[in-house]
Chain A
Amino acid sequence: MKVRFTPVGLLTGSIVLLCFSFVLAKPNHKVAASVGGQITGTVKLDRIAPKAKPIDMSKEPSCAQIHASKPATMESVVVGTRGGLANVFLYLSEGYTGNDAAPSQPATIEQRGCVYLPHVVAVNVGQKLVITNNDQTSHNIHPMPKPGGGNPEWNKSQLSGAAPIEVNYTGEEVAVPVKCNVHPWMRAFIAVVKGPHAVTDDTGAFKLDNVPPGTYTLTAWQETYGVQTSKVIVAPGKSANVDFTFKAK
Chain B
Amino acid sequence: MSGKAFAVLVALITLVTAYCVIAHVWWMPVDISVHGPKIDSQLEETVFVAGTLFVAGQLVLAAFVFLYGSSRDKPKQIPGGAKPLVLFAFLLVGAEVLALSFIGSKAWGAVYFTAPDPGALPIDVQAGQFAYYFRYAGPDGKFGALHPALINEGSQNYFGLDPEHDPDSRDDIVTAELAIPVNKPILLTLHSKDVGHSFYVRELRVQQDFVPGLNLPIHFTATQTGRFEIVCTQLCGLGHYNMKAYLSVLSQADFDEWLKKQAAMQ
Contacts and interface: CB of A to CB of B under 8 A. Distances in A.
Direct contact of A and B (CB under 8 A): yes
Interface of A: 53-60, 74, 76, 137-138, 140, 157, 177, 179, 181-185, 187, 223-224
B178 to A, nearest CB: 10
Contacts, number: 55
B244 interface: yes
Contacts of A187: 153-154
Contacts of B266: 53
Interface stretch (B27-35, B75-83, B128-136): B128-136
Interface in B86-133: 128-132
B177 A223 contact: no
Interface in B225-245: 237-239, 242-245
8 contacts: A59-B132, A59-B245, A74-B155, A140-B238, A181-B237, A183-B131, A187-B153, A187-B154
Contact of B154 (A56, A137, A181, A223): A223
Contacts of A183: 131
Contacts of A182: 130, 238-239, 242
Contacts of B175: 56
Contacts of A55: 156
Residue of A137, A138, A177 contacting most chain B CB atoms (<10 Å): A138
Interface residues of B, number: 23
Query: Which residue, of B155, B177, B244, has the highest number of chain A Cβ atoms within 10 A?
Result: B155
B242 A138 contact: yes
Interface string B143-157: 000000000011110
B156 A185 contact: yes
A74 B176 contact: no
Contacts of A177: 154
Contact of A58 (B128, B154, B155, B246): B246
Interface in B158-188: 158, 175-177
Contacts of B176: 56-59
In order of increasing CB-CB distance, the 10 nearest A-B pairs are A56-B176, A182-B239, A184-B153, A187-B154, A58-B177, A182-B130, A184-B131, A58-B246, A53-B156, A59-B245
A56 B177 contact: yes
A184 B246 CA distance: 16
Contacts of A184: 128, 130-131, 153, 158
B25 interface: no
Interface of B: 128-132, 153-156, 158, 175-177, 237-239, 242-246, 265-266
Contacts of A223: 154
A138 B131 CA distance: 14
Nearest to B246: A58
B266 to A, nearest CB: 7
Contacts of B245: 58-59
A223 B176 CA distance: 24
Given A54-B265, A223-B154, 13 more contacts: A59-B242, A59-B245, A59-B246, A74-B155, A74-B156, A76-B154, A179-B153, A181-B238, A181-B239, A182-B130, A184-B131, A184-B158, A187-B154
Contacts of A179: 153
B103 to A, nearest CB: 38
Contacts of B156: 53, 55, 74, 185
Nearest to B175: A56
A87 to B, nearest CB: 12
A183 B132 CA distance: 11
A53 B242 CA distance: 24
Nearest to B266: A53
A55 B131 CA distance: 13
Contacts of B128: 184
Contacts of A58: 176-177, 245-246
A179 B151 CA distance: 14
A181 B130 contact: yes
A74 to B, nearest CB: 6
Contacts of B131: 59, 183-184
